[in-house]
Amino acid sequence: MDADLSHHPKFITEFIDKQKEGDYDVVSGSRYIRGGGVYGWDFKRKLISRGANFVTQILLRPGASDLTGSFRLYKKDVLQKLVDSCVSKGYVFQMEMVVRARALGYSIGEVPITFVDRVYGESKLGGSEIVQFVKGLLYLFATV
């Protein structure tokens, strides 16, 4: 989860309940399923996030709706295997964790979350991160 509390801790109990309900290996917070949402973003930021998730869904078929978010719960052994198998850095890492989890046969559950834009600090999302995301997407498409 983001350390600036833009991912609200109130959702943690829902993550735990979801994990217990289906014995999921990974539980991902999703802004893009019923009950989820984003507040405080301008149109451009929403378009970038939605667009990245849309393209990812088409190319990688990850079985999860929100690959650009980072609010997740992992079983400890699963997390270690995923971290060891991932090669990406930055925003692509978030996507790669879910794509590799699915490729390795791990189960993924989703919990709706609301994301409120940062009160303190700024997002690191810029042109170079978008280029890295596209490179990572193509790399995963070719290798996973």
3 SS3 class: coil
User: Looking at the domain assignment, is residue 1 inside a domain?
Assistant: no
Query: Which residues span the domain enclosing 69?
Result: 9-143
Please give the helix or strand (H or E) that residue 14 lies within, else none.
Answer: helix 12-22
User: Looking at the domain assignment, is residue 4 inside a domain?
Assistant: no
Closest CA to 25 of 101, 130, 120, 133: 101
Say if CB 117 and CB 40 are below 8 A apart. Answer: yes
pTM of the model: 0.86
Strand partners, 37: 114
Closest CA to 26 of 83, 67, 79, 70: 79
* pLDDT per residue as tens digits for the range 9-34: 889 999 999 999 999 999 999 999 99
User: Looking at the domain assignment, is residue 3 inside a domain?
Assistant: no
Closest CA to 84 of 76, 130, 53, 2: 76
Number of domains in the chain: 1
* pLDDT per residue as tens digits for the range 61-102: 988 999 988 899 999 999 999 999 999 877 788 899 999 999
> What is the pLDDT averaged over residues 97-116?
95
User: Looking at the domain assignment, is residue 101 inside a domain?
Assistant: yes
